[in-house]
Structure 1
C-alpha cells in the first residue's frame, strides 16, 4: 500500500497541492496535518508511521514536509526500513528507498548528515575548552556575593537578617554559607 503524508506549517496554508500529488502517485491512504515541522508531537505523522506495514511505501511530496533535520529524517527512514517499509520523495526521484540507487543516495546523505553532526560537536567542544581556558564556565552568572554573605554571618547577623538585607532567598543564603 502507498501511504501519503502531507503537512503545512500553518493554518493559513493549503494542503490541496500536496494531496493532489500524493493521490496522483497512487497513495491509497493520506495522513495530513497543519502543524509546524519543529513540533515534536505530530499526531498524524505518528499515525502514518504506526500504520505502515511491511511492503508499504511512505510517500511525501518534499523532504522538508517530513523531518525537522537530517538526523530526524535518518531516524524516521531507519525505523521504516526496520519495518520493511519503503520511503519515496515525489519531488526528488533520487530519494526512493525502494530502489538500489535510492538506498545508495539515502545512505550517502545519511553519512553526510552524521559527518556534519560530528563536526558540529567537535567545534562545540573546542569552543567549550577555549572558554574554560579563558575562565568562562558557562551557565548563568552568579548573582549572590558569597563572600559578603559569609562576612555578614561572621558579624553575627542571622539568616533572616541576611535575607532581609540582601534581598536574596533563604535557600541562596544557606547555599552560600555551605560553600
Structure 2
C-alpha cells in the first residue's frame, strides 16, 4: 500500500472502455485506498480527449496524488502514459498505481521508472513514425492515392480546367459540381 504521508485525500481515476463494463471494482479499490474524489470515464484508452481525465488534470493542484488501480486504466501505450504522467507531475502533483508499486512518482524508483518510460515513449514514437513512412512508401509504389479521395473525377477535373481556361468564374464552376471554390482554384496549379 501507499506509505508516503498525505496531506489531503488522493484523487482517483477509473476508466472502462465500453458502457457494458462496470467501474465497480475500480471504485471499490480506489475508495479503499482513501481517494476522496474519483474521476470516471467510459471511453477507450486510445482516446486522448477523455472528458474526466482532462478535467482532473486541469483541476490538479500541487501536492495532489492521482491514483489508478492499474496503469492500463490511464493509458494504452507507453507514449500516452508518459505524456499523461508528465502533465500530472508538471502540475506539482504525484502519480501512483495500486497494482504496480514501482509506478509511484513520490519515490525515487518511481521517478526513475518515469524517466525510463520517457525513453521508451520516444523509441515507440520513432518506431510508429518509421512504420508509417514505410507503409506510405509501399502504398505509393502500388500506385495508391494518399489522403482524401478527390472530390472530382479526372474527367470532371479536365472539364473544369477547360472552363477555367475559357474564362468562366471559379465560383460558378464550383457550384455546378457542388464543390468549394478552392477545389476549383487548386486545379489551376
TM-score, structure 1 as length reference: 0.73
- Counterpart CA distance in 1 for 2:95 and 2:60 is 11
Gaps in structure 1 of 5+ consecutive residues? none
Larger radius of gyration: 1
| Secondary structure of the structure 2 residue equivalent to 1:116 | helix
Q: How many residue pairs get matched?
A: 170
- Counterpart CA distance in 1 for 2:22 and 2:62 is 31
- Counterpart CA distance in 2 for 1:47 and 1:111 is 27
- Counterpart CA distance in 1 for 2:94 and 2:163 is 69
Aligned with residue 81 of structure 1, among 86, 89, 100: 89
Sort the Cα spacing of 1:125 and 1:27 in 2 relative to 1 into closer, same or farther, 3 A.
same
| 1:125 matched to 2:133 | yes
Displacement of 1:29 in angstroms is 1.9
2:73 is matched with: 65
Whether the aligned pair in 1 keeps the contact of 2:103 and 2:113 (CA below 8 Å) is yes
Whether the aligned pair in 2 keeps the contact of 1:71 and 1:113 (CA below 8 Å) is yes
| 1:26 matched to 2:34 | yes
- Counterpart CA distance in 1 for 2:141 and 2:154 is 24
Aligned with residue 154 of structure 2, among 140, 144, 160: 144
Aligned with residue 51 of structure 2, among 40, 43, 54: 43
Displacement of 1:83 in angstroms is 1.6
What is the CA RMSD across the aligned residues, in angstroms?
3.3
- Counterpart CA distance in 2 for 1:48 and 1:174 is 46
Whether the aligned pair in 1 keeps the contact of 2:88 and 2:95 (CA below 8 Å) is yes
- Counterpart CA distance in 1 for 2:158 and 2:58 is 58
Q: Which moved more, 1:121-130 or 1:14-23?
A: 121-130
Sort the Cα spacing of 1:143 and 1:104 in 2 relative to 1 into closer, same or farther, 3 A.
same
- Counterpart CA distance in 2 for 1:152 and 1:83 is 59
Whether the aligned pair in 2 keeps the contact of 1:59 and 1:89 (CA below 8 Å) is yes
Displacement of 1:117 in angstroms is 0.8
TM-score, structure 2 as length reference: 0.70
Whether the aligned pair in 2 keeps the contact of 1:3 and 1:52 (CA below 8 Å) is no
2:115 is matched with: 107
Whether the aligned pair in 2 keeps the contact of 1:87 and 1:97 (CA below 8 Å) is yes
Gaps in structure 2 of 5+ consecutive residues? 1-7
